[in-house]
Structure 1
Amino acid sequence: MLRRSTLLLISGCAALVVGGCSKSTHPAVKELTVAESVAAHKAGAVFVDANTAEFRQSNGKVPGATLLDNYRKYDVKALLPESKDTPLVFYCSNKR
């Protein structure tokens, strides 16, 4: 698993949350396949949902995901795990 310095992202069913739901070229960001995402979830990665409440209501969310009210501005200490070794998977729809 990767450290907090590396963000994991779902591909296939969701788009990247960093940079307004567009692909990132940052070397510490790894795009995951759906199968890799499922494995990360089973291994204890924390999923972070940056979709709007309306999108979640219509389309659902990953069970147990942390929900962000705003993907650009949120309280890291309140919403993300204290341990910096916890793997994180950020996801959002590319529809606004």
Structure 2
Amino acid sequence: MVAYVINEIVVTEPERFLTYSSQVPAILAQYGGAYVVRGGAPEQVDGPEPPERLVVLRFESREAARAWRTSPEYLAILPIREATSTSRVYIVDGYEG
């Protein structure tokens, strides 16, 4: 089943954050992931105000998403993201109707 990684991000140090975000695409591709949404400008329709940055990644399975998230390549750059932003990240299964 397809799985999505949802990232709600507030960037606190934009210039340093670019060091992280510029390295993600190659690592993502290596693990079969693809961007569905990258950045965007969330428009509040209902509920609390959305974060300034929203990223949605698509993987062929939850296992593939976890493999990317725990890969040595991603873990090497994760401290940059953690130091330059705050975020909420989760994995959800896709809909198979």
User: TM-score, length-normalised on structure 2?
Assistant: 0.25
**Structure with more strand by fraction:** 2
Higher RCO (C-alpha 8 Å, min separation 6): 2
**Structure with more helix by fraction:** 2
User: TM-score, length-normalised on structure 1?
Assistant: 0.25
